[in-house]
Amino acid sequence: MTTSHRLLLVNGPNLNLLGTREPHIYGTDTLADVERVTTEAAAARGFAVRAVQSNHEGVLIDAIHDAREDCAGIVINAGAYTHTSVALRDALSAVALPVAEVHISDLSAREPFRQHSYIADVAVVHVVGEGVPGYARAVALLCDVITGQADG
């Protein structure tokens, strides 16, 4: 698999609890479901996926840094770090890979502190509030950017 055919999937804190954590907000799909949906969507476009989930910011930053060696883009749901981490935002900016930001819930309908994303300005794709299927759409849109097939 060449660099041009791999995506990094990053899931942040508490996303390991998907399926049991606040199912009225996040649904009943699990992190394994997220990884499956993402991998299948990427495979349909000829891409592989390397997935990382961590509750530790530094682990996520290290994975993002490593992606510049063998990935063509990053799909990220930073969880709560979306709203708090300038360091994660700076890592995404520093690696200069196209980024798709995805969130299971609709941030605009959540608490005020969840309505700001530090990642938004470095992402070229935003998929918010579509549940786990949103990961597949984020992958498709990101692959279009990577392959030069994106609109606009």
pLDDT, tens only, 65-75: 999 999 999 99
- 3-146 homologous superfamily: Dehydroquinase, class II (3.40.50.9100)
The reply to whether 83 sits in an annotated binding site is yes
pLDDT tier, 110 (very low <50, low <70, confident <90, very high otherwise): confident
Phi, psi of 146 (to 5 degrees): -60, -40
pLDDT, tens only, 116-144: 899 999 999 999 999 999 999 999 999 99
d(C-alpha 97, C-alpha 146), whole Å: 9
Domain ranges for the chain: 3-146
Residues in the chain: 152
Give the up-direction half-sphere exposure of residue 32: CA atoms within 13 A in the CB hemisphere. Answer: 2
pLDDT, tens only, 100-109: 999 998 877 6
The reply to whether 117 sits in an annotated binding site is no
d(C-alpha 37, C-alpha 67), whole Å: 20
The separation between CA 54 and the C-alpha centre of its own chain, rounded to angstroms, equals 13
The reply to whether 74 sits in an annotated binding site is no
**How many angstroms separate the Cα of 6 from the Cα of each of 65, 75, 137?**
15, 11, 16
DSSP 142: H
The reply to whether 77 sits in an annotated binding site is yes
Residue 1, pLDDT score = 41
Residue 21, pLDDT score = 82
Which residues belong to the active site? 26, 103
d(C-alpha 8, C-alpha 127), whole Å: 16
